[in-house]
Structure 1
Amino acid sequence: MLQDIRRTAEYLNIVFKVSERCNLKCDYCYFFFAGDDSWKKHPPLVSPEVVDALGAFSARAAKKYGIERVTLIFHGGEPLLMPRARFADMCERLRKHEDGFRFDFGLQTNGVLVRDEWIDLFEKYQISVGVSLDGPPAVNDKHRLDLKDRGSYDRTVAGLRLLQEAAAQKRISAPGLLAVINPGADGGAVYRHFVHTLGVNDMSFLTPDYTWDSGVNEEIVRGVERYLLSACRAWLRDKNPKVHIRVFSELLSAMVSSQAMDLLRTYRDDYRNIISVSSNGDLAPEDTLRVVDPRFASMGLNIETHGLEDLVESDAWREQAEASLRRPEGCKACGWWNICKAGRPINRFSKALRFDNKSLYCKGLQDIYAEIAAFLVRNGIPLSEITSRIAAIDPAPAPEPGVAPENGQLASPPR
């Protein structure tokens, strides 16, 4: 268990729910509309006492496990619902606890409330900002509505433009975008809107939080997979090294670099370095897991009375740790395992088998891996190098894949 604690501490990420209310009502939101109502029992805004408790919790962990940097993401709900003076006080309080370590502040926002005064705070406290946006108006405003059922696209983009202007002035880092995949949308069109219209170079596409028990029909699943493949092809077609899409960029880097492969194999969809802290100080594993089982949300642990080791030694944590290492039956014969790890844990879950399932989006993930590998082959990277990196320390014997002559895609995944 000490090894698990050290692994968690090495790249410790804390998702801090500073506001457990929101000014939008995105119908797919795991936090408010997926069956976990714990937020109703928590304060709308985090108190100064909980902020101080988190600072002390982090300082204890840093001292005990030799942590030098702690990534702290201000999250929600919508974190900008916190009054600015109170937000500034929170940052000051947290900085006062830095003793032998430092917080790296980040914030995820829907962008609607971004104003120049907020950017002043982001600059002062060195906060990197991510904006949630699902695509052009017809895509974004299908699900991301405000409390009066109005679309949020225009206001979100207005906030994004303010952030981009501040980044151009070197006041803050460039904002990134986080898009939840709409199964009915064209991923390539969304990519082009983000990059060519909005001028964003850093983004991530998030699969919907469906589990094997969600009862979604096959067309929805296939729609998610088509979206991912279309976005991937648009990104590869641009050949723009400045554009970083986490789900794709990490894969491409891993296929050409053994060092990047080692990192991907270690951390790909493995949430053992992510913890969440609610507005009342309750501790839990990575936040989306709360919707699959109450034991991942209501653990009886709090930053005022418990330490990092209490979370890592809990049964719920142990289950997710074992899941990150266990190869599901449906993945036993798959040669992509080292770069896939069965996808996001929530997309693996079922009540019957828990995390012992392949991803709900398995076929789509395999298509992406093949697409990126084939792109590299077409651009001069030997197939043998790619397959040897992917198969490294993989116990399954692996015949070398072929390349489909019609379009240059891999005919089968590396084994």
Structure 2
Amino acid sequence: MTAPHVRQVVLKVHSRCNLACDYCYVYRHADQDWRSRPRIMAPGTVSRVADRLAAHMRRHGTERVRVVLHGGEPLLAGLAALDRTVRTLRAALPTGATLDVAMQTNGLLLDEAALELCHTHRIDVGVSVDGDRTANDRHRRHADGRGSYAEVATALRLLARPEHRARYAGLLCTVDLANDPIAVYEGLREFDPPRLDLLLPHGNWSVPPPGRHPDDPATPYADWLIAVFDRWYAERPRRTGIRLFESLIALLLGGRSGTQALGVAEPDVMTIETNGTIEGTDTLKTTTAAAMRTGYDVFRHSFDEALRHPSLAGRPTGMAALAAACRACPVVDVCGGGLYAHRFRDGVGFAQPSVYCADLFRLIWHVRERVSADVAALRRQSVPAAHR
């Protein structure tokens, strides 16, 4: 078994945001440490991150790693700071190693100058938007209550132009049961994204997500996602991938998941805050104020030291991390227990099924039936008529 190592670093280059989304897992949940952190990651901190990352790659013989410029809103750091950050990271890489860079933004500051920088450094751009105007502006608003749809739509039309499309990574949408699923899907497709991420809103057994009552057998989130899946799956050709559905299909056919929300996989994502603090996957902010805190930072500790912490690779992984009910479930190889943060319960920890267990089961079963029917049809077509 190989030693755990980091494949993706979420770099919090700016700790504030120019939106006030009411569901934000950074600002509206248990962990409020952002209030005491520097607004922007200092050049000296970036240098230490670069040194630690390079040393980690040399130790593990890693040839490729991904860094996601994140926040808050990363573009608030300014283009000069982002330029310097990427140059510093790449300059420290071991010979022959590759650094893939991405940025997750709300799009409000995404203009020609920002995209020129993205082309210079081959930064792939993901944009957060929740669908059409009605769906998006339900939650993604300015602090004064104004919606953000008009601004993000302008940015997305720019990003989708032929000269910028190479940098267009996709759209990230948080599911809201109040929004019509097909209207959301069609609203997102208007921006011609290469990929969509449909995310379940963060919640757990102690703080359930909206409309999800743990003791209720209803599956409202599965119903919502199935409506989108059926529309998407029937399309020929498909211009837009949906990571959740593609991962489900891949896992059902014996492949690998492309999302942390599904599949039994070891944690390989590390978060580094603006002050150099090393933390685990930042969705853990939704559980307790201390769930992410490792006590490690890039000035005093290596990545390998930090990986031993329970919020990173030091926690149980694979089947050993799952509740007994999960291990006995017929879809465990696909579900994998769901997103780690969604399993949390106060006083118990993470060793229980996802708060979305019923929804995930129904969604997986539905996708399995659709895919199995298609596989069976293909097999029949490949058998000569005389042998049927």
Do these two structures clear the TM 0.5 threshold for a shared fold by scoring above it? yes
For residue 203 of structure 1, the aligned residue among 196, 206, 227 is 196
In structure 2, how many angstroms separate the alpha carbons of the residues matched to 1:201 and 1:214?
A: 33
SS of the counterpart of 2:171? strand
Which structure shows the bigger proportion of residues in helix conformation? 1
Kindly state the Cα deviation for residue 356 of structure 1 after the two structures are TM-superposed. 1.4
Quick one: distance in 2 between partners of 1:266 and 1:248? 11
Report the Cα distance in structure 2 between the residues aligned to 1:217 and 1:206, rounded to whole angstroms: 13
Taking the aligned partners of 1:351 and 1:323, their CA distance within structure 2 comes to 22
In the alignment, what sits opposite 2:176? 182
Distance, in Å, in 1 between the alignment partners of 2:341 and 2:306 is: 19
The CA deviation at 1:122 is 0.2
Matched-pair identity in %: 25
Contact 1:203–1:246 (CA under 8 A) maintained in structure 2: yes
Any residues of structure 2 matched to 1:240-251 within 5 Å, and which?
240-251=237-248
Q: Determine the C-alpha separation between the residues in 2 that align with 1:151 and 1:271.
A: 38
Q: Following the alignment from structure 1 to structure 2, what is the Cα–Cα distance between the partners of residues 20 and 368?
A: 35
Q: How far is 1:38 from its partner?
A: 0.7
Looking at structure 2, the residues matched to 301 and 381 of structure 1 have their Cα atoms a distance apart, in angstroms, of 52
What is the CA deviation profile of residues 67-105 of structure 1, one whole-angstrom value per residue up to 9, with x for unaligned ones? 111100000000010121222122221221122322110
SS at match of 1:321: coil
Structure 2: 5+ residue runs without aligned partners? 380-388
1:158-197 to 2 correspondences below 5 Å = 158-165=154-161, 168-169=162-163, 172-195=166-189, 197=190
Q: Secondary structure at the match of 1:31?
A: coil
Q: Is the 8 A contact 2:14 2:41 kept in 1?
A: yes
Report the equivalent of 1:236.
233
Alignment-mate amino acid for residue 114 of structure 1 = L
Q: Name the counterpart of 1:252.
A: 249
Do the aligned partners of residues 79 and 288 (structure 1) sit closer, same or farther apart at CA in structure 2, a change above 3 Å counting? same
User: What is the one-letter code of the residue matched to 1:360?
Assistant: V
Alignment check: 8 A CA contact 2:226 2:363 kept = yes
What does residue 277 of structure 2 align with? 282
Q: Is the CA contact (8 Å cut-off) linking 1:108 and 1:130 kept in structure 2?
A: yes
* Per-residue Cα deviation, 1:227-246 (whole angstroms, up to 9, x for no partner): 21212122112243432111
Q: 2:148: which partner in 1?
A: 152
Quote how far apart the aligned CAs of 1:220 are. Answer: 6.7
RMSD: 2.5
2:31·2:285 contact (CA, 8 Å) conserved in 1?
Answer: yes
Deviation at 1:35, TM superposition (A): 2.1
Q: Does 1:358 align with 2:344?
A: no
| Contact 1:54/1:303, CA 8 A, preserved across alignment | yes
Q: 1:383 to 1:301 in 2, by over 3 A?
A: farther
- State the TM-score, normalized to the length of structure 2: 0.89
Q: Does 1:348 align with 2:343?
A: yes
Q: Which amino acid counterpart does residue 5 of structure 2 have in structure 1?
A: T
**Paired amino acid for 1:372:** V
2:246 aligned counterpart, secondary structure: helix
8 Å contact from structure 1 (residues 180, 208) kept in 2: yes
SS at match of 1:355: coil
The DSSP-based 3-state class of the residue aligned with 2:167 is coil
* Higher RCO (CA < 8 A, seq sep 6+): 2
Pairwise CA distance, 1:64: 0.7
Distance 2:213 2:125 in 1: 30
SS at match of 1:158: helix
- Please, which moves more after superposition, 150-159 or 323-332? 323-332
Report the CA distance between 1:215 and its aligned residue: 4.5
| Partner of residue 375, structure 1 | 370
Matched AA of 2:229: C
Q: Label 1:217 to 1:288 Cα distance change in 2 as closer, same or farther (>3 A).
A: closer
Q: TM-score, normalised by structure 1?
A: 0.84
Instruction: Name 2:205's counterpart in structure 1.
Output: 212
Q: Which amino acid aligns with 2:187?
A: H
| Distance of aligned partners of 1:37 and 1:18 in 2 relative to their CA distance in 1, 3 Å threshold | same
